[in-house]
């Protein structure tokens, strides 16, 4: 169970960071909107897909989940933009996904309902 969560977190984090914080800043290195802000919006909207499968249990549901993804996208985007590297954003994204996805799937309130 933990190995599956770790593998999922690693693959997902690397792929998303390459897409949202690797490609855009590299293609638009001096364009704040295209290289930094657009990927943050795209990253947030990208998270509509998991919401179609597993709705957020946050108070405001999908809106709160997307807002969280947007602010994480802004934070990760700023780090990648400033450092010109996704090294640190990949590491934190792996941790967020491992704790969030693994915890949600295996240790969330619905896991005890069987």
For position 60, what pLDDT does the model report? 77
pTM: 0.79
Query: Can you list the positions of beta strands (E) in the chain?
Result: none
DSSP state of 113: -
Kindly report, residue by residue over 65-95, the tens digit of the pLDDT: 889 899 999 999 999 988 889 999 999 999 9
Q: Who's near 101: CB < 8 A, 6+ residues apart?
A: 5, 8, 9, 12
Tokens of 77: 């985007």
Closest alpha carbon to 36 in 69, 83, 80: 80
């Amino acid at each position: 169970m933990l190995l599956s969560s770790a593998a999922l977190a690693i693959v997902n984090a690397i792929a998303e960071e390459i897409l949202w914080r690797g490609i855009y800043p590299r293609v638009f290195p001096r364009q704040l909107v295209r290289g930094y802000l657009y990927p943050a919006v795209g990253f947030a909207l990208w998270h509509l897909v998991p919401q179609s499968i597993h709705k957020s249990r946050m108070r405001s549901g999908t809106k709160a989940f997307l807002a969280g993804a947007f602010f994480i996208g802004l934070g990760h985007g700023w780090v990648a933009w400033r450092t010109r590297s996704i090294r640190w954003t990949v590491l934190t994204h792996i941790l967020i996904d491992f704790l969030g996805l693994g915890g949600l799937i295996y240790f969330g309130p619905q896991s005890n309902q069987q």
